[in-house]
Chains A and B, each alone.
Chain A
Amino acid sequence: MDVLHWDGTLSAKDFKIGAFAFAQKWESHNSGFPPWSWVLCPKHPWLASPEEEGYLSLEKICISRPNEEDIDQISQIDTGEEETSCPGNEDVIDDATLVQSGHHELHYCDFHIVYSSTFRVPVLYFRAYCSDGSPFPLDEIEKQLPACSANELSKSKWTFITQEEHPYLKRPWYKLHPCGTAEWMKLLFLSDAAKPKFDVVLELYLLSWFSVVGQVFGLRIPFKISN
């Protein structure tokens, strides 16, 4: 595949390869989060060799902003990672060690990375809910986001969010609209003077993609992941 003429998209097969590469790197370098898991969805399970489709899933991520009392507790927790977080940034929290005071309602988010065969790119689907499982609507989610994300969300046209049926689970989820993805993926990879080979592009595709879409939720991936 000639990268110079690449249109920024992936085939379904390449998406799967890229998804596995991403999940692997994430697990090795992003210990602040649980790993992504691949959920298999055979397209025609009645066939002898069903087409294997699937998506990446990361669930029950706490997206609540800590309140003032909790901030003192957080600063005492040593996560033991060499994260380059700036002081005062409580957005990246290992929720396994976070101690929350009882009256602060926690909200969680499930993220699914699903391949769109129409746009030929990954799409981020998400849904948010309270600790009792009741759904948490989008305008409430926005209030939970880190300030610069919430700002981005209101200003930035590219984080266009729509609600639609999850392609596999058939329930309403939100998604970040993918129509511009191919274009900015092309820019990400082709702006360097040294054009990468396609297998490098594939290896890094989901990572680069996530560095962009993850910002909507303040989900940060460490730099060394792309080395």
Chain B
Amino acid sequence: MAAESPSSVRKVVVHLRATGDAPILKQAKFKIPGTDKFAKVIDFLRRQLHRDALFVYVNSAFSPNPDELVIDLYNNFGFDGKLVVNYACSMAWG
């Protein structure tokens, strides 16, 4: 019997999309294990953009909790074989 089910090594294609006046990343597409948490995507974005305050969301006007698994997000919000993750930089607050 296989020790791991196929889905545990499945990678999800993530496409990072700049919105508002956020800078566009040179490398905007990558693969991430489905079992990783969404927090990894957020952290990646923070490091790439050198910004701490980011507004991150998927289509269907939803902002996922960082604890969500990427594979779950893909299953619910993915299409065309990828998960599109939108990001915007902090706006005028307060």
Binding site for B on A (CB under 8 A): 84-86, 89, 91, 146, 148, 155-158, 160, 177, 179-180, 183-184, 187-189, 191-192, 196, 201, 204, 207-208, 211-212, 214-215, 218, 220, 223-224, 226-227
Contact = CB atoms under 8 A, between A and B. Distances in A.
A146 B93 CA distance: 23
A36 to B, nearest CB: 18
Contacts, number: 100
Q: In the complex, which range does the number of interface residues on chain B fall in?
A: 20 to 34
Interface in B41-94: 52-53, 55, 57, 59-69, 72-73, 76-77, 86, 88, 90-94
A184 B68 CA distance: 21
A218 to B, nearest CB: 7
Closest 8 CB pairs of A and B: A208-B61, A188-B61, A180-B93, A223-B76, A155-B52, A211-B63, A212-B63, A84-B72
7 contacts: A86-B69, A160-B93, A160-B94, A189-B61, A191-B59, A208-B61, A220-B67
Given A86-B37, A187-B88, A220-B67, A177 B94 contact: yes
